[in-house]
Amino acid sequence: MAHVRVTKRFHFEMAHSLFEYDGLCKNIHGHSYNLEITISGQPLKNPGHPKDGMILDFTDLKNIVKTNITQQFDHSLMVNSLVPEDQMELLKKTTNRLIVVDFQPTTENIVTYIAGILQQHLPERVSLYSIRLYETVTSFAEWFASDN
């Protein structure tokens, strides 16, 4: 049986700041993130079934990513949990879409975080192959299952 990979692209807007960073990114700033999710598996071989020939219906993949990633991240502010409590309280007053994570919210760490979330929500017969997260048009981080 053939093993195939398929990719779907997504987009979201999110702000972040890098705690104690030694450059401009220590300030709250936003990005127009582009996200590519590649899954792999064997296409369903079930003639007459509505999903015949698919690893996973693109609509189903879209719904998984939308529910667990883009709806959560879009127009949110992601910050490191190491931000002092007084500053965290001020941030909470400025947005109701604050995501506090236990890591520095770099593109490298965010792509790994996304992988962890998606692996919990994909059907058993589907594998997460790779993720590419563009922070800008020219800068991205990649995560590959084979490396992890």
Q: Is 20 a catalytic residue?
A: no
Q: Is 124 a catalytic residue?
A: no
Residue of 25, 31, 36, 108 marked catalytic? 25
Distance CA 122, CA 47 (A): 23
Burial status of residue 6 (CB atoms within 10 A of its CB: 0-12, 13-18, 19 or more): middle
Residue of 11, 29, 49, 75 marked catalytic? 75
Distance CA 3, CA 70 (A): 28
Chain CA centroid to CA 38, Å: 12
Q: For residue 65, what are its two tokens?
A: 């990513």
Distance CA 96, CA 101 (A): 15
Q: Is 75 a catalytic residue?
A: yes
DSSP state, residue 43: P
Residues acting as catalytic residues: 25, 75, 135
